[in-house]
Amino acid sequence: MLSEYYIKNKKYKLESKINKKELIAIGDFLKILKCEKIENVTLKNLREWDNKKLLQAFRVAHGPIREKVRYYTKQHINIVIEILRLKSLGFEIPDIKKVILNNTPENLILLNKDIDCKKNIKNIKDIIRNINDKELYIIKPMIKNAKKYFLEQMSIKELNYDDIKNILIKNKYLNYDVGIIIFALILLSSFNCYDIDNDIFDSYKFSKYIDDIADSINNNKKSY
């Protein structure tokens, strides 16, 4: 049973022997919290906090089956308020227990959380960097080869809606694999949207190209 606790570095003692008349059943305790304008607390919260030894209730034998019922005192209200305050700062139950039961400084916990957060961000950045490196390593040569093909075979330097339409129509009659042509068009679109000198990829422009390709495919399907 919880015997002492801390609120903002101040130590309090929770009496272990309480007059039964001062005990408040869990349902009534919840009503008192609501009357005190202490929101966002449910029976589920109280049971969880008790089970995890964060806000331990008094247990009193009650009823014909001698079931132990949870009871609280007015002292518990201050602990509830502190739990909610720490939760609003993003603290989880293990961290709240450290603050309330062990008087661990909040700033120390926040610092550790900040360090963990930065580590996670670094890991995510490393993953993204690896993906980008692989994309450049694999896709960039493909895009260059696609552009080389269009430059040499079709004298196309930039891609627009009419180019897409004409290429699809032309290759329809030449019986080329339309899937390969579409793939090449997408690669060329990527190349047109990538500024190698400044290392900038225009995703909006690329999306427009893809929309044009999709429209051309749909229009050509209707004419087949």
Calpha distance 73→23 (Å, rounded) = 5
CATH classification at residue 48: 1.10.1660.10
* Structural domain total, the chain: 2
Residues 96 and 174 in one domain: no
pTM of the model: 0.52
pLDDT for residue 18: 74
Q: What is the pLDDT along the chain (224 residues), one digit of tens a residue?
A: 557 888 888 888 877 677 778 889 999 999 999 999 998 899 999 999 999 999 988 887 665 555 678 889 988 999 999 999 999 988 899 999 999 999 998 888 888 877 777 777 777 667 656 655 665 566 566 666 666 666 666 666 666 656 666 666 666 555 555 566 666 666 666 667 766 566 666 767 777 777 776 666 666 555 54
Longest CA–CA span in the chain (Å) reads 95
Calpha distance 65→212 (Å, rounded) = 74
Residues 98 and 135 in one domain: no
HSE-up (13 A, CA, CB side) for residue 34: 9
118 part of a folded domain: no
119 part of a folded domain: no
Contact 193, 206 (CB under 8 A): yes
